[in-house]
Amino acid sequence: MKKIIVSLFMLSQISWGQQKERKLVWEENFEGTQLNTVVWNYELGDGCPNVCGWGNNEREIYTQTNHLVKDGYLTIEARKEGNKYTSTRITTAGKKEFQYGRIEARAKLPVGQGIWPAFWMLGANIGKVGWPLCGEIDILEYVGKNPHQVYTTLHTTANHGDHASSKVTEFPTIEEGFHTYAVEWDATKIEFFVDNQSVYVFAPKERTPEVWPFDQQFFILVNMAVGGNFGGPEVDDTIFPQRYVIDYIRVYQ
């Protein structure tokens, strides 16, 4: 069944790619039974000592064991284990980085108060200039306390890291099944899509470094946080375990 669905989807993407004159340059289909560490890094722990709570007062501890690669899917599982929450966070930093193109993922969301899954990107120069000067592109954020809503956001120094450009879009069935989340990004604008529906366009007239730190390489992150400034602060312990399932990630240029 998955092969049929993927084949139909790829047909639609072929026509899209022809129209946009872009080609598939990288894809992650999560084949096999292990995460490909040639491409992916694990980020572990609670962010301490540098950014405790990952800069957002998040409550999870990231591990290498809160995920499963099976049957062509990556499943990240958030758990309540004793008095702590555990989850997984992975990145392509230093291994797969991109400037411009269409970056997309097909994913099934978890649900419940306190859950905060994301598919996003950070500037590859974050180690040199820090955040938010590096820029951040949040292709997908979902918080369980606000069901049926998808958040798409950009962070820059223009707003001291606050939402420089953000859109909340209502999708009554977003928790049901898989959906596609994408960004189309070039030298003048960034446009966000959910199921190929355009939900927001950011195209500033003046692209100063404070407003537009996006003319550089970015890397991909996938994670599921628990609690925090955005996902919480309250967490419903009865919802666990919760699973965030990624079918694929693709980059077209």
Query: Distances from the Cα of 110 to the Cαs of 4, 74, 91, 118, 246, in angstroms?
Result: 24, 13, 20, 11, 11
Q: 97: Cβ–Cβ under 8 A, 6 or more apart, which residues?
A: 124, 217, 218, 219
Q: 152: Cβ–Cβ under 8 A, 6 or more apart, which residues?
A: 138, 139, 140, 141, 166, 167, 169, 183, 192, 199, 200
Q: Which two tokens stand for residue 106?
A: 């097909």
Give the ranges where the chain is alpha helix by DSSP (H): 2-20, 126-129, 228-231
Q: Using CA atoms, how far apart are residues 210 and 157, in angstroms rounded to an integer? A: 5
Query: Per DSSP, what are the bridge partners of residue 123?
Result: 218
* Residue of 194, 145, 138, 147 whose CA lies nearest to 175: 147
For the annotated catalytic residues, the residue numbers are 136, 141
Q: Which two tokens stand for residue 124?
A: 């590859």
